Amino acid sequence: MKIHHLDCGRMHPILPRLVLGPVAEAHRHLVCHCLLIETPRDGLILVDSGYGTADCAHPRERLGRFFLSIARPELRLEATALAQVQALGFDPADVRHIILTHLDVDHAGGLPDFPDATVHVMARELEAARTARGRHRLRYRPASWAHQPRWHLHDDPAGERWAGFEAVRPLPGVDPDVLLVPLAGHSPGHCGVAVKAAAGGWMLHAGDAYFHRGIVRPEAGRPTAGLWIFETFTQWRADARRRNQSALRALAADEASDVAIFCAHDAVELSRFHPEGPSPQLLR
Ligand SMILES: [Zn+2]
């Protein structure tokens, strides 16, 4: 399957030095790393949807003032998944499945741009989003799913052990080389998505299971204090989040592994998948 790596929402967070650390100018921002997968049988699959066209048109109403003041997304129409799908020469109606790592607004904002797609998410994530109280109302924005998507909800636990993770399973009706990898911790139904690459090996989109590449690959640099504060502030359960991170670290350190791991927001990781970047193998 051919996999396109898209940035569907560049962000310039407040306190950039504290959040991003010492990093080259080209990577001095956060990204919304989404995947567009061309499948032989199931049309196009989108993994996460970034910000959508409605977020660009009505940022305050859709994203909320607090989120806008912290994350400071650029919100350019041409960066939306819809525009990038079209720019690649595809019909947006061919996006038949959207698989969400979770329902935070920076991952689900693009859903309304693909109203006919089946949206895969963990059942307990949708439940958490629908019943959010207090500070969690800042992350989940019901406008992202007010158009009533065709949900396909996934229960846990179901599935098998894969690459050190439990309850991993293919998604019914979707190419079997796409796997849902439960990684609850950042949010109650957070999960990763593994995809078998055409060139061999696997890609593991770990969503917001971590924010800085140094969490998973210590040789890639020290995780920043700003991202640590952010992931602690937004987490659902610290123990589960740390367990996931140590499993991801073990997988990245495994010389025999053929899994390239990346998270949703690290610009350096995304650059590894651009044609001019270093080999994705560096992300093992
Ligand atoms: Zn996120």
* pLDDT tens profile 208-259: 999 999 999 988 888 888 888 888 888 889 999 999 999 999 999 999 999 9
Q: Which residues make Cβ contacts (< 8 Å) with residue 177, sequence separation at least 6?
A: 1, 195, 196
Is 91 a residue whose pLDDT tops 60? yes
Has residue 125 got a pLDDT over 70?
Answer: yes
CA torsion, ordered 118, 121, 127, 129, to nearest 10 deg: -90
φ/ψ region of 172 (left if φ > 0, alpha if ψ in -120 to 50, else beta) reads beta
- Mean pLDDT value across residues 75-87: 97
Confidence of residue 283 (pLDDT cuts 50, 70, 90): low
Residue 208 confidence (pLDDT): 97
The CA 264 to ligand 1 mean position distance, Å, reads 6
Q: Name the residue with higher pLDDT: 218 or 85.
A: 85
- Per-residue pLDDT band for 17 (boundaries 50, 70, 90) equals confident
Cis, peptide link before residue 188, omega less than 30° from 0 = no
265 Cα: distance to centroid of ligand 1 (angstroms): 7
Q: How far is the CA of 134 from the centre of ligand 1 (A)?
A: 18
> Sorting pLDDT into bands at 50, 70 and 90, what band is 275?
low
Q: What is the pLDDT of residue 232?
A: 85
Alpha helices in the chain (DSSP H): 16-20, 53-57, 59-63, 65-71, 81-87, 105-108, 123-130, 213-216, 225-234, 238-253, 267-271
* Among the listed residues 153, 38, 175, 173, the one whose alpha carbon sits nearest the alpha carbon of residue 94: 38
Ligand 1 centroid, distance to 157 Cα (angstroms): 24
Q: What is the pLDDT of residue 276?
A: 52
CA 250 to ligand 1 centroid distance, Å: 23
Please state which of the ranges 67-81, 93-107, 189-203, 263-277 shows the lowest mean pLDDT: 263-277
CA of 71 to the centre of ligand 1 (A): 10
Using the mean position of ligand 1's atoms as its centre, give its distance from the Cα of residue 112 in Å: 18
Mean pLDDT for the stretch of residues 62-81: 95
Q: How far is the CA of 209 from the centre of ligand 1 (A)?
A: 9
The closest alpha carbon to 145, from 159, 133, 158, 128, belongs to: 128
pTM (two decimals): 0.94
Compute the Cα dihedral for 35, 87, 54, 26 and give only its sign.
Answer: positive
Q: How far is the CA of 281 from the centre of ligand 1 (A)?
A: 24
Residues 4, 90 contacting (CB under 8 angstroms): no
- Mean pLDDT for 139-167 is 91
Q: Provide the edge-to-edge strand list for the sheet that holds 150-154.
A: 2-7, 33-38, 44-47, 95-99, 118-122, 150-154
How many angstroms does the Cα of residue 18 sit away from the middle of ligand 1?
Answer: 18
Give the distance (Å) from ligand 1 centre to CA of residue 198: 27
In this prediction, residue 63 carries a pLDDT of: 94
pLDDT band at residue 279 using 50, 70 and 90 as cut-offs:
low
Q: How much is the average pLDDT of 62-79?
A: 94
CATH fold for domain 2-277: Metallo-beta-lactamase; Chain A (3.60.15)
- Cβ distance 6 to 81 under 8 Å? yes
What is the pLDDT confidence band of residue 145, given thresholds at 50, 70 and 90? very high
- List the domain boundaries for the chain: 2-277
Residues 216, 252: contact at Cβ < 8 Å? yes
